[in-house]
């Protein structure tokens, strides 16, 4: 009787596990569909003309993809230079922000000094200040130092990223024991060598995650570049897309707008595909404090 009860209990437990797994898969499929559907709509609309888009959505591609691309390329917006401007600013911002934020987190994690606790709190307080609040002072500052209408004014301030610092600090608390740093010091390793050859390799998953986030944030940024950059040859893609959308009625072409948006998404997809294998491990370890 006991064996029969045990077998029945195992069967019920197994059925319950299979039911939960089935529900989880169904939920993931629905979420995946909802996430990818809008990309599908974007690329489908990029193949349609303005008049076809005015008639409503059709879930099948049309024949105006090449026409829309030629119109965008030969239009008034310098999309090629805009692509390179966005790419340069986003790559430089992602690389510098992740490296120096990791270095700052390492300093807070590895060293003991009197203002350590207050420094950590101060950096988190800075993270709470919206960009719009400091925009006027920022514009006045870059005007006085001669960086107005210059991409440097967008790259250098982005190096100090409180959000990236906080994530890196939490990740170090989980994965970087102080004994490892002490062992490197005992072996005669200098601080920069320890950081570059020991700490950075251990932080690769977190660096990859934050590089993606920093890249996408910089790539999609419209507010600050619109205030800083004035020449069309220096503007980034979000500004050019906004200008294309705000064209007058006679020149407005929704097919070109969708084509330009689709064109601007490709670099983000490429960066994600290159670094995506690090995301799951990086996010998981970064959220667990050991």
Q: Residue 104's domain is classified under what CATH number?
A: 1.10.3720.10
- Indicate if 74 and 212 belong to the same structural domain: yes
The three-class DSSP label of residue 130 is: coil
Question: Is 153 inside any structural domain?
Answer: yes
- Indicate if 120 and 261 belong to the same structural domain: yes
pLDDT at 15: 66
Contact by Cβ (8 Å): 203, 102: yes
DSSP string for 151-186 = THHHHTGGGS-HHHHHHHHHHHHHH--HHHHHHHHH
- Indicate if 186 and 226 belong to the same structural domain: yes
DSSP string for 51-106 = HHHHT---SS--S-HHHHHHHHHTSSS-HHHHHHHHHHHHHHHHHHHHHHHHHHHH
The residue range of the domain holding 31 is 2-45
- Indicate if 166 and 267 belong to the same structural domain: yes
pLDDT at 7: 57
Give per-residue burial for 173-194: e unless 16+ CB within 10 Å, then b. eebbeeeebeebeeeeeeeeeb
pLDDT at 286: 44
pLDDT digits (tens, 9 = 90+) for 149-178: 888 889 988 888 888 888 888 888 888 888
- Indicate if 166 and 273 belong to the same structural domain: yes
Q: What is the mean pLDDT of each run of 10 residues along the chain (290 residues)?
A: 55 70 91 87 87 82 85 80 90 92 88 81 82 84 88 88 87 84 84 86 85 88 88 88 72 81 82 70 46
Question: Is 91 inside any structural domain?
Answer: yes
Provide the domain count of the chain. Answer: 2
- Indicate if 146 and 37 belong to the same structural domain: no
Question: Is 57 inside any structural domain?
Answer: no
Backbone angles phi, psi at 90, to 5 degrees: -65, -45
Contact by Cβ (8 Å): 92, 213: no
- Indicate if 142 and 6 belong to the same structural domain: no
Contact by Cβ (8 Å): 79, 237: yes
Q: Which of 198, 195, 212 is nearest to 273 (CA)?
A: 212
- Indicate if 124 and 16 belong to the same structural domain: no
pLDDT digits (tens, 9 = 90+) for 114-129: 877 788 888 888 878 8
- Indicate if 143 and 273 belong to the same structural domain: yes
- Indicate if 163 and 276 belong to the same structural domain: yes
Question: Is 56 inside any structural domain?
Answer: no
Question: Is 51 inside any structural domain?
Answer: no
- Indicate if 30 and 141 belong to the same structural domain: no
């Amino acid at each position: 009787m006991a064996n029969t009860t045990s077998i029945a209990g195992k069967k019920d437990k197994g059925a319950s596990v299979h039911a939960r797994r089935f529900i989880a898969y169904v939920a993931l499929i629905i979420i995946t569909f909802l996430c990818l559907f809008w990309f599908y709509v974007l690329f489908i609309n990029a193949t349609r003309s303005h008049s076809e888009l005015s008639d409503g959505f059709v879930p099948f591609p049309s024949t105006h993809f090449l026409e829309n691309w030629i119109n965008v390329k030969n239009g008034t917006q310098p999309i090629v230079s805009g692509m390179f401007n966005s790419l340069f600013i986003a790559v430089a911002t992602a690389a510098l922000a992740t490296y120096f934020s990791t270095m700052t987190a390492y300093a807070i994690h590895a060293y003991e000094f009197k203002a350590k606790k207050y420094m950590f709190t101060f950096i988190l307080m800075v993270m709470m200040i919206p960009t719009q609040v400091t925009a006027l002072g920022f514009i006045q500052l870059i005007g006085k130092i001669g960086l107005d209408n210059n991409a440097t004014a967008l790259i250098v301030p982005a190096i100090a990223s409180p959000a990236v610092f906080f994530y890196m600090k939490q990740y170090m608390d989980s994965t970087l024991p102080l004994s490892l740093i002490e062992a490197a010091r005992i072996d005669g390793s200098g601080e920069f060598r320890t950081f570059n050859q020991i700490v950075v390799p251990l932080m690769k998953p977190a660096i990859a995650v934050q590089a993606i986030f920093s890249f996408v944030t910089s790539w999609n940024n419209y507010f600050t570049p619109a205030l800083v950059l004035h020449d069309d040859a220096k503007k980034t893609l979000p500004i050019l897309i906004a200008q294309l959308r705000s064209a007058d009625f006679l020149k407005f072409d929704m097919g070109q707008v969708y084509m330009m948006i689709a064109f601007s998404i490709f670099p983000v997809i490429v960066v994600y595909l290159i670094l995506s294998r690090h995301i799951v491990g990086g996010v998981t370890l970064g959220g667990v404090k050991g």
